[in-house]
Amino acid sequence: MENGNRDSRKEIEKLAGKVSRLEMALEAANVAYWDQDFRTGKVYRSPLWARMLDYEPEEIDGEESSWLDLIHPDEREMVMKKAREHENGEIPVFRVEHRLRTGSGNYKWILNWGKVIERDREGKPIRAMGIHLDIDDRRKMEEEIIRSEKMKSIGILAGGIAHDFNNLLAVMLGNVSLIRVGGVRGERLHHLIGEVEKACIKSRDLTRELMTFTRNVEVVAGDVPAGEIIRESAEFTLHGSNIRCKIDIVPGTRAVRGDRSQIKRVLHNIFLNARQAMPEGGIIRVRCSGVNLKGSDNIPLVDGEYIEIEISDNGVGIPSEIQDRIFDPFFSTREDGRGIGLAACDSIIRKHRGHILFESEPGEGSTFYIYLPASDKLPEREDTPEGEVLKGSGKVLVVDDEESIRRMAEEMLEALGYTADTASGGEEALRLYRKGMEEDNPYHAVIIDLTIPGEKGGREILRDLIDLDGGVRAIVSSGYSEGDVIANYREYGFAGRLAKPYRMSGISQVLKEVIQSGD
């Protein structure tokens, strides 16, 4: 009996020695580890686990909630979903990069990697083990490399953009000069004005394409009929070419949940690439359908319903040596290319919480696969065709710091049948609005610029107007998105939104909707 106890003690001592050496090796490699018991709900975390986050080991208890509370709020749902998928046996390992709050209140990037090592007869987890790796320096280095590469490319980019804008300005200025000289009438006048308008639209699209790289550009979400925008984009991009486009929209395909104009820019760029890959002509095939993605599909998206848009061409294909670079900003294989198109596509799709990938064989063509979140609605055509100008009536106040924009908006509104007043800032807007109420001649709508340098911005002006009149109907106007005000305008008290630059059709439709909804 005594020999048995002695042997047991030796085995325990050996095991303890192995554990001690393993812990020292992990600590020397700067690897923290954790061990979770699902029966008790307790989690053991190595001392380095706490120190890695600038805590003392005694500050972190053995509860699972201690870890959950430290996860960055933006990533908590994603991390928990991955953990549950692994616990349920849906994915083989739990591996995710996320941020944890440190003792100083900042956040640090961690690679969290673990696996269930014991299950009961029903397959429910009993025990899991895993490690934490500090990848904060790696993530910061990657971001710095990207910034550095972009800075090196700024010179090339600036030259290309300046060239394009100069050409567009030349078209606008030259045609406006012809009109001002006089003597241009009828069809000729109509043609010149049309050329100026087309140059303005191209300038706007170029600006918006560049803005997709900024953090401030938000997705203005809506229910977008995928089939409709695919046909519009294909017709526009392939017009005048010797390329045919065969489009197959699977019956019952739901709408895409996203920003119509941004998704159209993605499709435009893909179709343009296909057109350039087939200089002698060819066929582009498009298939659009709904798919239910799961982790087993090897597409890095949260499980759920998506719209898959598959676009194939029979062009020259993409050389294998550059396939891993085609989504890089400023990378282009053409001498006149700026390398914005596909990089902008990737940026837009990621902002929509979607994914884009491709397959290509040199000499045989390319296929792009776009995955976008599906709406819970079937697609519906808008009752008002794009470009239709809707007349109206009522009194409208325009608040903008630019005098030229105020004059333009005033003339537009009067041409549409409205009575218009303008203000350059918040104080003047409040004075005019108050005067209208006192004279029993109130404004039916207020169009407010989101950003007014040196003055209160659109959000602050709206708050003051709401204090004056809780029923004020305000439309936020902006040439770019500040935070998520444009994307989620209703949450900030606005009744509508109007993107600059705008045309008669745009302002007329927004006003009609806002004023009628108020009535």
pLDDT per residue over 428-447, tens digit each? Answer: 999 999 999 999 999 999 99
Could you give the CA distance from residue 376 to residue 380 in angstroms, rounded to a whole number? 12
* pLDDT exceeds cutoff 90 at 331: no
The whole-number pLDDT of residue 218 equals 54
pLDDT band at 466 (very low <50, low <70, confident <90, very high): very high
Q: Band of the pLDDT at 308, cuts 50, 70, 90?
A: very high
Measured CA to CA, the distance from residue 309 to residue 373 in angstroms comes to 11
Please give the residue that has the higher pLDDT: either 17 or 171. 171
Pairing of strands 365-373, 355-361: antiparallel
- Look at residue 98 and tell me whether its pLDDT is greater than 60: yes
The pLDDT tens digits for 209-263 are 555 444 444 566 778 888 888 988 888 778 777 888 999 999 889 989 888 878 8
pLDDT of 284 reads 93
Residue type, 473: R
Residue type, 491: E
Q: How confident is the model at residue 312 (pLDDT cuts 50, 70, 90)?
A: very high
CB 152 within 8 A of CB 146: no
| Burial of 158 (C-beta count, 10 Å sphere; 0-12/13-18/19+) | exposed
The yes-or-no verdict on residue 486 having pLDDT over 80 is no
pTM above 0.75, yes or no: no
How many angstroms from the chain centroid is the CA of residue 492?
20
Torsion of the alpha carbons at 484, 489, 494 and 498, rounded to the nearest 10: 100
Query: 518 pLDDT exceeds 90?
Result: no
For the ranges 295-299, 353-357, 380-384, 505-509, the lowest mean pLDDT is seen at: 380-384
Cα dihedral 62→67→70→72 (10° resolution): 180
What backbone phi and psi angles, to 5 degrees, belong to 445? -160, 155
pLDDT above 90 for 6: no
* Average pLDDT of the segment spanning 180-201: 80
> Does the structure show a pLDDT above 70 at 15?
no
- Cα-Cα-Cα-Cα torsion 84, 85, 88, 89, nearest 10 degrees, comes to -150
pLDDT for the residue 379: 61
At 511, the pLDDT band (50, 70, 90 cuts) reads: very high
Looking at residue 222, its pLDDT comes to 76
In percent, the amount of the chain with pLDDT more than 90 equals 24
Burial class of 292 by CB neighbour count within 10 A (0 to 12, 13 to 18, 19+)? exposed
Listed residue (286, 294, 192, 181) closest to 231, CA to CA: 286
What does each C-alpha distance from 494 to 87, 392, 450, 471 come to in angstroms?
A: 44, 20, 11, 11
Average pLDDT score over residue span 100-116 = 90
Tokens matching residue 311: 């676009």
Q: How confident is the model at residue 337 (pLDDT cuts 50, 70, 90)?
A: very low
Mean pLDDT (the chain, rounded) = 80
Q: Which residue has the tokens 């140059």?
A: 199
